[in-house]
Amino acid sequence: MAELAFGLPAAGAILVSLLRRRGPLPLLFGFAFGAAGLAATALVAPGVQGALFGLQLAMPAPARVVLLASFGAAALVVLLVPPGADRTPMLASVLAGLSALAAIAVVAEPLVTVLVLLLLAAIQSALPALRPFSERVRAPVFGALLVALGALLAEGASSTPILRVSGLALVLGTTAAIGLAPYLQQLDPREPAPASPVAWLAFIGPGLAVLLSTRLMALLPAEAGQAYAGVLLGLGVVNLGLGSFGAWRSRSGADLWRYSFLGDWGLALVGLGLLSPIGAGGAYLLLLTVLLLRLPLYLLARPALITGRPAESLRPLTLLVAAALFGAAPFAGFAARLLILRAATAAPWPLTVFLVLVMLSWLPPSLRLAQTLGRPSGRLAFGVGVVTLINLGLGLYPNWVLNGLGVR
Amino acid sequence: MILAGIGVGLVWLGGSILVLSDARRGLAVGLLLSALGLSMAVTAQAGPVEGGLLAGGGLVAVVAGLRHDPRRGWGLLQGPSTPRVILCVVMGGAGLWLGLGIIDSPGQPEARAAATTMIALGASRLFSEREARSGLAAATLVALGAGALAAMSSATPAAALAGAVAAVALNLLPTPAEEGLEGG
């Protein structure tokens, strides 16, 4: 069943690409193969070992939950495309991304994961976009190479300094592939979403973070764990601080969105770096909100970001969206932040104080972010309502997700 | 042992030709020589199936690359070539050092060195390249090298097959005709 989780979306992506000029046929095939991939993922038993031509396959529980959420996010971004836009290229891209994510979640051999990452980076960089191929391919391929180096060092090394370098390479490689600071890229709302950095930051990134915290971390022995956690915490704090500072300083809506993704990622990295099940639960929940709230909202805001016309007044829907983006109760961001804070209390107190201050600093930028949606009406308002309701559901019943993640 | 050593040399020679080329024939010959060298090194130490898969993947990737690349000729040493010559020596040496001296597994040192040299040369070209076709050819070197390492690590030909498939897929990708100009 695990091989179907990546085989079906891959077949769907190829079919959609081949039939892209045949009217509604590619959409039908794409949705059918995507739904079949979703069903296959839902039926995979987490942690159960399998094999495909001798390659070990197993899907950890957090990877399964995040992959299911990625399927949900893919459905949202395809169904809620702005009026007049063509769904077919978006569908082909998300199916290719889902196939890669499923392969990354399932294949146990880290070097095969690197191959998948490399191929995905090349495919994404070959899409028509505003930035040149060389600029787009650099960070993810550099990330893939660092992950390969980290995995090779972890497999063969016996001395502690080399194991520490291995942990460093694994963390830096994953963050480079996602596109976090110090590998942050410009976000231009005019660039097609599948080719823009948001594809890595918000769609592929959560799957890579789970890969790091489950499979890649398992390569390291216990004595390298502290260095690994230290790098994760350090990068988390840097991204958190940069996100918060950048959001306050940013003038354009696109910059504000970019820093908002960065802020969430900083918190998620801190949650993973605390090396506790509670912190990891909070981090995974936050990654689900990136997938199911922040990504669809950014895509819904893109038309208004291109025209540069934010809403001047605050309407009830805008306030609701701002509350969800800020992580206010009862939305999912609140539960995630609470879990991370709870885990952080086990660390020295300045970290907790820093986290609280940074979380609170997001209130005004969240209002500005919600205003970048303009005045939602019609399909846009429906889309905003749907993603807000999904986030509310996650916030009201986080235990359901946390049980699935296996972190309770 | 001798076969694996010749393989490492071929990998370096092919990778260097690829680093120094800017047209399809040079890229194709570089990629082919590298793939054959890697295949020899892997065959000597992992088995003929793995080696055959990597050579086959490289060959099909070369054909696909030749069909998709519009730039005719060899394109060897065009423009200021000194930085690229230095890249060939430095990155080739770094790859060799990594495979022989830094990492202890997977597989035997010669095959590992062939794979790491290939990855180092491919990565150096990829990071210094602005043109998509040359970038994809360089990424193919990385894919074949990673596939070889994965095959030795997992002791299954499936990983070599994954590397070969990735190499072919990279060369089948269509690239934007004029970079930086398209939007939408």
> Has residue A354 got a pLDDT over 50?
yes
- pLDDT greater at residue B117 or residue A184: B117
Q: Which residue is closest to A89 within chain B, CA to CA?
A: B184
> Has residue B177 got a pLDDT over 70?
no
> Has residue B104 got a pLDDT over 90?
no
* Residue A71 falls inside a structural domain: yes
User: Could you tell me if A264 and A344 lie in one domain?
Assistant: yes
Give mean pLDDT, residues A362-374: 93
> Has residue B118 got a pLDDT over 70?
yes
How distant is the Cα of A39 from the closest Cα of chain B, in angstroms?
Answer: 25
Q: Answer for the pair A193, A152: CB distance below 8 angstroms, yes or no.
A: no
* Residue B157 falls inside a structural domain: yes
Q: How far is CA B47 from CA A220, B37, B111, B113, B140, in A?
A: 29, 14, 11, 16, 22
pLDDT at A126: 87
pLDDT tens profile A247-300: 999 988 999 999 999 999 999 999 999 999 999 999 999 999 999 999 999 999
User: Which of B97, B112, B127 is the best substitution to test chain A (most A C-beta atoms within 10 A)?
Assistant: B127
Q: How far is CA A93 from CA A7, A62, A251, in A?
A: 15, 24, 30
User: Could you tell me if A395 and A324 lie in one domain?
Assistant: yes
What is the share, in percent, of chain A residues with pLDDT greater than 90? 67
User: Could you tell me if A346 and A242 lie in one domain?
Assistant: yes
User: Could you tell me if A217 and A238 lie in one domain?
Assistant: no
- Give the integer Cα–Cα distance in Å for B155 and B149: 10
User: Could you tell me if A93 and A134 lie in one domain?
Assistant: no
> Has residue B184 got a pLDDT over 50?
no
> Has residue B178 got a pLDDT over 60?
no
Mean pLDDT check: name the lowest of A96-110, A209-223, A354-368: A209-223
pLDDT at B37: 96
Average pLDDT, chain A: 91
pLDDT at B183: 35
What is the share, in percent, of chain A residues with pLDDT greater than 70? 99
Is some CB atom of chain B closer than 8 A to the CB atom of A53? yes
The phi, psi pair for A52, rounded to 5°, reads -135, 110
- Give the integer Cα–Cα distance in Å for A108 and B76: 41
CB contact (8 A) between residue B183 and residue A153: no
Domain, as residue range, for B150: 2-67+81-172
Q: Answer for the pair A169, A85: CB distance below 8 angstroms, yes or no.
A: no
Residue with tokens 């592939």: A177
pLDDT at A307: 84
Domain, as residue range, for A141: 128-197+212-221
User: Could you tell me if A59 and A27 lie in one domain?
Assistant: yes
Q: Which residue is closest to B172 within chain A, CA to CA?
A: A123
* Residue A297 falls inside a structural domain: yes
Give mean pLDDT, residues A127-154: 91
* Residue A53 falls inside a structural domain: yes
Q: How far is CA B146 from CA A207, B59, B66, B108, in A?
A: 21, 17, 23, 15
* Residue A202 falls inside a structural domain: no
User: Could you tell me if A101 and A149 lie in one domain?
Assistant: no
User: Could you tell me if A240 and A150 lie in one domain?
Assistant: no
User: Could you tell me if A280 and A396 lie in one domain?
Assistant: yes
> Has residue A99 got a pLDDT over 80?
yes
ipTM of the complex: 0.91
Give mean pLDDT, residues A103-117: 94
* Residues of B whose CB is below 8 A from A134: 129-132, 135
User: Could you tell me if A336 and A273 lie in one domain?
Assistant: yes
Give mean pLDDT, residues A184-189: 88
User: Could you tell me if A346 and A402 lie in one domain?
Assistant: yes
User: Could you tell me if A103 and A132 lie in one domain?
Assistant: no
Is some CB atom of chain A closer than 8 A to the CB atom of B182? yes
How many domains does the structure of chain B reveal?
A: 1
pLDDT band, very low/low/confident/very high, at A408 (cuts 50, 70, 90): low
* Residue A204 falls inside a structural domain: no
User: Distance of alpha carbon A265 from its chain centroid, rounded?
Assistant: 8
What is the share, in percent, of chain B residues with pLDDT greater than 70? 95
* Residue A316 falls inside a structural domain: yes
How distant is the Cα of B73 from the closest Cα of chain A, in angstroms?
Answer: 23
Give mean pLDDT, residues B65-77: 88
* Residue A264 falls inside a structural domain: yes
Give mean pLDDT, residues A106-110: 92
pLDDT band, very low/low/confident/very high, at A173 (cuts 50, 70, 90): very high
pLDDT band, very low/low/confident/very high, at A214 (cuts 50, 70, 90): confident
Give mean pLDDT, residues A2-21: 91
* Residue A117 falls inside a structural domain: no
Mean pLDDT check: name the lowest of A46-55, A322-331, B92-101: A46-55
- pLDDT greater at residue A182 or residue A290: A290
CB contact (8 A) between residue A141 and residue B126: yes
How many domains does the structure of chain A reveal?
A: 3
* Residue B183 falls inside a structural domain: no
